[in-house]
């Protein structure tokens, strides 16, 4: 883990290092909280998604049902030019 943190620190430029990192796991419990504390101690500005991805997905589904909106899904294999 120490090696991973050191490598992450070496590969993060100063602009990205000033940005906030959003961390989440499936339910937003101890795993994400523990990692957030560890990353914070190594100088990263970390936020944890309350309730995890599961809560976000529930919120998004409910919101889209209440207020339907146009949604564009971009999918494809890695390297297929989705960001072009």
The number of C-alpha atoms within 13 Å of 79 and in the hemisphere containing its C-beta is 0
> Which of the residues are catalytic?
25
Structure tokens at 61: 């589904």
Structure tokens at 55: 């809560």
Q: Convert 43-59 to b/e letters by CB count within 10 Å (16 or more is b).
A: ebebebeebbeeeeeee
């Amino acid at each position: 883990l120490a090696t991973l943190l050191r490598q992450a620190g070496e590969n993060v430029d100063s602009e990205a290092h000033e940005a906030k990192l959003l961390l989440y796991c499936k339910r937003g419990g101890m795993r994400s909280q523990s990692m957030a504390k560890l990353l914070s101690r190594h100088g990263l500005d970390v936020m944890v998604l309350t309730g995890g991805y599961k809560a976000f997905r529930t919120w998004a589904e409910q919101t889209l049902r209440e207020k339907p909106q146009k949604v564009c899904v971009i999918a494809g294999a890695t390297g297929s030019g989705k960001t072009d």
